[in-house]
Amino acid sequence: MWFPASVRIIKIVLAFVLLFAIVLDHTLLVAADKTAATVVVKDALTSPNQAVTIEAKLIGKGLVARTALGGEPLELLVDGKVVASAMTGGDGRAFLSYTPTAKGIKLVQVRVGQSPRVDSAEGQAHLAVWEKRQPILMIELSSLMEIPTPSRVPTIGLGPESGGKPMAEAADELEKLTRFYYGVIYVAPLPAGGDSFRVSMEVEEWLKLHKFPAGYVLPLSADLKGLGEKIDEFQAAGWKTVKIGVGRSKAFAEAFLQRRLDAIMVPEPSKGEIPRKAQVAKDWKEVRRKL
């Protein structure tokens, strides 16, 4: 025999079940409508207790083209804690400010904040926090690679997308140099019209894959025309210890030599490609001995 109280309970239970189904269906619909995205982040350089701006970009994952996503919140995480947030502009970029206190190289993350339009996504990069008295090496990326070409001097701008294999012992020797002494700036080639965010990401992946020590990845024009200006910029900002370049191309070495700084070419190129006063090394073991 059914009692009124039992009927009311059944009706209430059914109402809750129906409400839950509606909420679940709405949640799934909203989730399905969200745009899948990628967050890409550039490395940054600063010194302890000095503010730094970390640049990130939010890109939608389209079937054909990737579009920048503006007006979305991004969050910067250091040691798992949110330390800054910013909105992306129309070009998808956001600038997040942070002041580190301890020196070293930190892997920082940038993620999508609370957004009703974009699905969760995260990117990461290195934040180099070095004392300005710490010696710094600028290294041309191609000097770390074996390049199977007839000429011993590669085309300027060779990047990791070429499938470059690392030179024997380059990672081990560079790790020894960075363990207690040098900071490293990796100069990566940026093709004309190329995306510096993409280049940074590809180089980071290549360095990690081949177990090179973490450093600051700096995309520059593949013809290296801006290298000299960048060296001057570092010096003007107080990075006086940026005074040694290890590279493979004549243009890279000359940018340092023209400023009366040291340049080492590896491996040793043909005589016509060696600028006056440039040092040469047959491999990275010899580079370490020269340093």
- Supply the pLDDT for residue 12: 57
Choose among 120, 128, 116, 68: nearest CA to 94: 68
Choose among 150, 122, 237: nearest CA to 185: 237
Q: Cα 150 vs. chain centroid, distance in angstroms?
A: 32
Amino acid identity at 74: L
More confidently predicted of 178 and 31: 178
pLDDT category at 32 given cuts 50, 70, 90 is low
What are the tens digits of pLDDT across the range 216-245? 999 999 888 899 999 999 999 999 999 999
Torsion angles phi and psi, residue 247, rounded to 5: -145, -175
In this prediction, residues 109-125 reach a mean pLDDT of 94
Domains of the chain plus CATH, in order, are 37-129 (2.60.40.10), 136-290 (3.40.50.1000)
Tokens at 225, concatenated = 């025309």
What are the tens digits of pLDDT across the range 233-285? 999 999 999 999 999 999 999 999 999 999 999 998 888 889 999 999 999 99
Residues in the chain, overall count: 291
- Supply the pLDDT for residue 217: 97
The yes-or-no verdict on residue 173 having pLDDT over 90 is yes
Round to whole Å and give the CA distance between 96 and 116.
21
- Supply the pLDDT for residue 192: 86
The greatest distance separating any two alpha carbons of the chain, rounded to the nearest whole angstrom, comes to: 106
What are the tens digits of pLDDT across the range 175-227? 999 998 999 999 999 998 889 999 999 999 999 999 999 999 999 998 888 99
pTM above 0.85, yes or no: no
- Supply the pLDDT for residue 194: 87
**Residue 163 backbone class (left: φ over 0; alpha: ψ -120 to 50; beta: rest):** left
The yes-or-no verdict on residue 150 having pLDDT over 90 is no
- Supply the pLDDT for residue 271: 80
